Amino acid sequence: MEIKLEHVTKKIKGVPVLQDVTKTFTGGCIYGLSGKNGCGKTMLMRTMAGLIYPTSGAVKINGKTLGKDISFPPSMGLLIENPAFLRGYTGLENLEILAKVQGGVPQDEIRATLEQVGLDPDDKRKYYKYSLGMRQRLGIAAAIMGKPDIILLDEPINAIDAEGVSVIRDAIRALMDDERIIIIACHDKEEMEYMADTVLHMSEGRLEEEA
């Protein structure tokens, strides 16, 4: 797997939110994106996911340009902001519905994914009764379910307690292999350094690498 950002610039109403970002992400590494609120982490993730297209420059997934050759990365799990789950269904039911849309993830794998993020697949509570942390765990489960080639997680541990953070960290680590690209955005630099293999720092829409 390879995600190549070539001189990616994004302007919104003339204001640059991404500035000349050039970077190649390859499989076998957990990348962290850190930086202050508003520095462009979410915008960069949206761009890599094909949710927005650059004003100039290109995003290539295994050599194919988003918005030109393909619309979205073909195998991708995404957690950005609040995922839209159905309030009247349980966590398991929500993932089953998503799995159908995505072309089928086996039931035992859905249950295992829920357990991996510390949720009980047999919990009968509906989504609207879930706490903020449980909602976030379900969002992570939805993003990693089916083990997609590219996993983009924007602030995955925001509302999660200390014990949960280590559960989530293990779940993400377990997904690592030579092919998969995992990118996590987190404004907590210390936590980021703990979770990721390489931390990239963003400032005012620009990307800088750290040693």
Ligand X SMILES: Nc1ncnc2c1ncn2[C@@H]1O[C@H](COP(=O)(O)OP(=O)(O)OP(=O)(O)O)[C@@H](O)[C@H]1O
Closest separation between CB of residue 15 and ligand X, Å? Answer: 7
Retrieve residue 16's tokens: 């640059």
> At 190, is the secondary structure helix, strand, or coil?
helix
Looking at the Cβ atoms of 41 and 180, the one nearer to ligand X is 41
Looking at the Cβ atoms of 33 and 150, the one nearer to ligand X is 33
Residue 99 near ligand X by CB under 6 A: no
Residue number of the CB closest to ligand X reads 42
Looking at the Cβ atoms of 119 and 202, the one nearer to ligand X is 202
Candidate residues 5, 34, 40, 130; the one interacting with ligand X per rule CB under 6 A: 40
Looking at the Cβ atoms of 110 and 199, the one nearer to ligand X is 199
Residue 54 near ligand X by CB under 6 A: no
Closest separation between CB of residue 38 and ligand X, Å? Answer: 4
Residue 94 near ligand X by CB under 6 A: no
Residue 90 near ligand X by CB under 6 A: no
Residue 94 — φ and ψ, nearest 5°? Answer: -60, -45
Looking at the Cβ atoms of 98 and 196, the one nearer to ligand X is 196
* Neighbouring C-beta atoms of residue 39, cutoff 10 Å: 22
Residue 106's closest CA among 146, 162, 160?
146
Candidate residues 43, 138, 192, 199; the one interacting with ligand X per rule CB under 6 A: 43
* CA distance to 32, 65, 164, 205, per residue, from 16 (Å): 22, 21, 36, 7
Residues 142-201 that bind ligand X (CB under 6 A): 187
Residue 116 near ligand X by CB under 6 A: no
Candidate residues 14, 37, 63, 190; the one interacting with ligand X per rule CB under 6 A: 37
Secondary structure of 85-145 in HEC code, one letter for each residue: CCCCCEHHHHHHHHHHHCCCCCHHHHHHHHHHCCCCCCCCCEHHHCCHHHHHHHHHHHHHC
* CA distance to 45, 86, 110, 129, per residue, from 121 (Å): 29, 16, 8, 15
Does the CA dihedral 91-97-101-106 come out positive or negative? positive
Size of the site for ligand X (CB under 6 A): 11
Binding piece for ligand X, criterion CB under 6 A, among 38-46, 92-100, 103-111, 134-142: 38-46
Spatial distance between the Cα atoms of 170 and 117, rounded to a whole number of angstroms: 9
Residues that bind ligand X (CB under 6 A): 12, 17, 35, 37-43, 187
